[in-house]
A and B are shown apart, each in its own frame.
Chain A
Amino acid sequence: MVKPSFSDEIANLLHASHGNPLITCIQCGTCSGTCPAVDYMDHTPRRIIGMIRANLKDEVLNSNTFWYCASCYHCTVRCPAQIDIAETMYALKRYSIWKRVHQEGLVGPTFSETFVKTILRSGRSFEPILATSYLFSAGVRELIQEGVTATKMMLKGRLPMLPPRIKRLDNFKRMVSRVIPLEAE
């Protein structure tokens, strides 16, 4: 069997999304014109779609574009080709994590990984652990600053002290393992 190209792999990841395939993109730039985070991206979303179609795997995986996507879905709403661009950004995030290739110094990958791990451990998100685990990678100053905010919230009862757990966690883990390939912890 022929090894699927990078653009095939991304197309497969988007198979179940409601949008049209990336090959129908007319490169009009509505997504990039709409994007509120485009100033921070090294490539515009339109360009990323073009790069996927050109099979520029390394360049795409080393781009920060999809990690800066704020998932506002504005591009998806406006896209004249009805491509689900925000979903494409998610697909690239997943792919990037699986392949363990991403740009150095980004918060996104660590955050995503920690988030998924927290969910898998207890079935619920728990901010005190989630925030500290990725803020370490961001630096001490941010950690202290966030710590102050977190303490204030905790005193007002807006942040739980103990991690919440769901019932029948095993069932949940088995369910998730059908969707995401989990590694043995």
Chain B
Amino acid sequence: MTEKVGVYICHCGSNIAGVVDVEEVAKWAGENLEGVAVSREYKFMCSSLGQELIEDDIKNEGLTRVVVAACSPHLHERTFRRACANAGLNPYLCHMASIREQVSWVVEDNEVATEKAKAMIAGAVNRVQLHEELEPSLVPVNPNTLVVGGGIAGIQASLELADAGYPVYLVEREPSIGGHMAQFDKTFPTLDCAACILTPKMSDVGAHPNINLLSYSEVEEVSGYVGNFSVRIKKKAKYVDEELCTGCGICIEKCPKKVIDDVFEAGMGYRKSIYRPFPQAVPNIPVIDTVSCTYFETGKCKACEIFCPTEAIDFEQQDSYLDIDVGNIILATGYDLFDCKTIPQYGYGRLANVFTSLEFERMCNASGPTEGKIVLRDGVTEPESVAIIHCVGSRDENYNRYCSAICCMSSLKFGHLVVEKTDAEVFSCYIDMRTNQKGYEEFYERLLEEGMNFVRGKVAEVTDAFRLPGEEGKLIVQVEDTLLGIQRRIPVDMVILMAALEPRADAREVGLQFGIACSMEGWFTERHPKLDPVATMTDGIFIAGAAQGPKDIPAVVAQGAAAAARVQGMITKGTVEIEPVVATITEEMCSGCRICNTLCPFNAIEYLEDKEVSYINTALCKGCGTCVAACPAQAISGAHYSNEQIFAEIEGLLYDVISGNGAKAPQVEQEPVPA
């Protein structure tokens, strides 16, 4: 071989050098590996001095290939490729060996680690000599953006983008935007009214010339790639003509059918069969719920149609589809509330005066079912005592392991509302009080001063089985006061369960539809948990809000804005580089069997009828290699992952077994397996 390879081994401080004998590895590589012209080790290869080392060697020593043995390519591949490019070497002629994540962090024995590092470097040196020069292709970015979910995260993201002058399609499943925040009464810790701060933003969305609001709609199909997505949106039939409807509300008034509102009122109140979730709904257009509507049940009624002054009711309306092209997508699909019935010992659904947090939110809301009055299920009696139970379905291996992040603060808010509106005594049963944002601890102190009782202990059960004096007719909250070390039975009139936040029931399907991953629990996975919280592993798809994990309104808004900023960056740049690590088909070898066409997870392969061969759209190809492995004629080759390159790498990894390369792996004494 004629390539001159430079090998650079990073100490990564003591991360690698603490385990791997880097001097020995560098010396060995220089002496034993074929093609290696330069072999060096350095404290931090990613520092500017480390990068200069590579650049200088390329210029002075005439290196034609570079191997950097350091951390995972996830972190610094771009850094070293750029260094090569700076010195005039094609960046794809640089390769990384991950001797931190795959060696020093996981191998305990220093000697074994050193040998493994050698093997990995031998593999990298072997394969890099077969690398080809690749050029990334540039594709334009469509300036339109799709935002999925019209909660506060989606609203914030849409407004940021629209205000910057870019067109936005905002898709919302429900008849109105607003999400969970629209259901709340007050927001912690400042206690400003949720509607007062949310509705101006909602009407901004409704009136914005750059926002195309698609309510009562769902994304049906997504295809394409970063900068150029095609999306099909299903607009569910509202049975109300959006052009003609003025939002006067007469139809709602006249509709004779009342049903329990399970969504917006959380089952606490009623709505009509033709309804908008709340008076400030955006868009202010009602929809007909065909399941309960008398006309759809019996074919008679049509009260709404008769009374509508603009003849906007259209019983013949069908679901319609809208095809749009967008450059980027922001997913802000929010959360579901944990089903409290899953925990039988808390009695929700069995004991009347056990409420969920969302039910209590609706109860406190001035426009809610009780007009803001805190009363028991009978609708009139004011409670004399209230218990708030934390961590219902959170921090519990039996349900959800994670902390739902918002419940401690909203329970303090609830405590305040009870104290403010009633004379009731409030007990908060918590495991740990988590008030760790700006102004939150102060709010906790305020509630201590307002006389809320805090009992440190997870509630064991809520029961109406009385046995002690004063318990009759009450709900008894049985809990250990862990700070006192005694079991307490607290008789109360009302119990509020602080239900956990859960991923949307269909989060996994949505993730699959958009090509992004979910965590074990079902939250969307970000590209990096700390440094890239709103991007995903799929370019052009961003996430914001509680769909990524439980979080409160300030954090959700920050994420919405962050996602919008990332999208603006993409649009302003105008073009996006497409990785050249893709598969290509050698037309002469392709038999046109079309096996690859159906296997491709990105729909990147099409069949050319005229030539009778398959063709790969490189802009869609992600270089996953599925087709390469499946092709019976071996007509498909994956750039950077050709058979030759992979076999060369394997031979390098096995240098000590294949022999001829000198060094031998040490004999490791294995612990005898206990009989």
Interface positions of A (Cβ within 8 A of B): 20, 26-35, 38-39, 43-44, 46-47, 78-82
Contacts and interface: CB of A to CB of B under 8 A. Distances in A.
B488 to A, nearest CB: 8
Contacts of A33: 457-461, 478-480, 487
19 contacts: A26-B431, A28-B431, A28-B457, A28-B458, A28-B482, A29-B479, A29-B482, A30-B457, A30-B458, A33-B460, A33-B479, A33-B487, A34-B460, A38-B487, A43-B485, A44-B486, A44-B487, A78-B460, A80-B391
A39 B397 CA distance: 27
A80 B486 CA distance: 19
B431 A39 contact: no
Nearest to A27: B482
Contacts of A30: 457-460, 480
B482 A78 contact: no
Interface string B472-506: 00000011111001110000000000000000000
Contacts of B432: 26
Contacts of B519: none
A82 B487 contact: no
B395 interface: yes
Contacts of B345: 78
Contacts of B397: 20, 79-82
Contact residues on B (Cβ < 8 Å of other chain), bracket: 20 to 34
B204 interface: no
Contacts of A46: 480, 482, 485
A20 to B, nearest CB: 7
Task: Among A29, A38, A43, A82, find the residue whose CB has the most chain B CB atoms closer than 10 A.
Answer: A29
B482 to A, nearest CB: 4
Given A35-B487, A38-B487, A80 B482 contact: no
A110 B269 CA distance: 61
A29 B480 contact: yes
Given A30-B458, A38-B487, A39-B487, A80 B479 contact: no
B16 to A, nearest CB: 31
B667 interface: no
The A contact surface, by secondary structure, is loop
User: A27, A33, A35, A81: which has the most chain B beta carbons within 10 Å?
Assistant: A33
B108 interface: no
Contact of B398 (A26, A27, A32, A82): A82
Contacts, number: 71
Interface in B321-353: 345
B577 interface: no
B396 interface: yes
A80 B480 contact: no
A71 B431 CA distance: 25
Contacts of B457: 28-30, 32-33
Instruction: Kindly list the 7 A-B residue pairs having the minimum CB-CB distance in the complex, ordered from nearest.
Output: A33-B460, A29-B480, A32-B480, A80-B396, A28-B458, A29-B457, A34-B460
A153 to B, nearest CB: 31
A29 B457 CA distance: 5
A170 to B, nearest CB: 26
Nearest to A43: B485
Given A30-B460, A33-B459, A46-B480, 9 more contacts: A26-B395, A28-B458, A29-B457, A29-B458, A32-B480, A34-B460, A44-B482, A46-B482, A80-B395
Nearest to A35: B487
A53 B179 CA distance: 45
A82 B399 CA distance: 11
Contacts of A32: 457, 460, 480, 482, 485, 487
Nearest to A74: B460
B485 A44 contact: yes
A33 B398 CA distance: 17
With a 10 A CB-CB cut-off, give which of A32, A78, A81 has the most chain B CB atoms.
A32
Contacts of B460: 29-34, 78
A41 to B, nearest CB: 9
Contacts of A39: 487
Nearest to B487: A38
Contacts of B391: 28, 80
A32 B487 CA distance: 7
A122 B395 CA distance: 48
Nearest to B390: A28
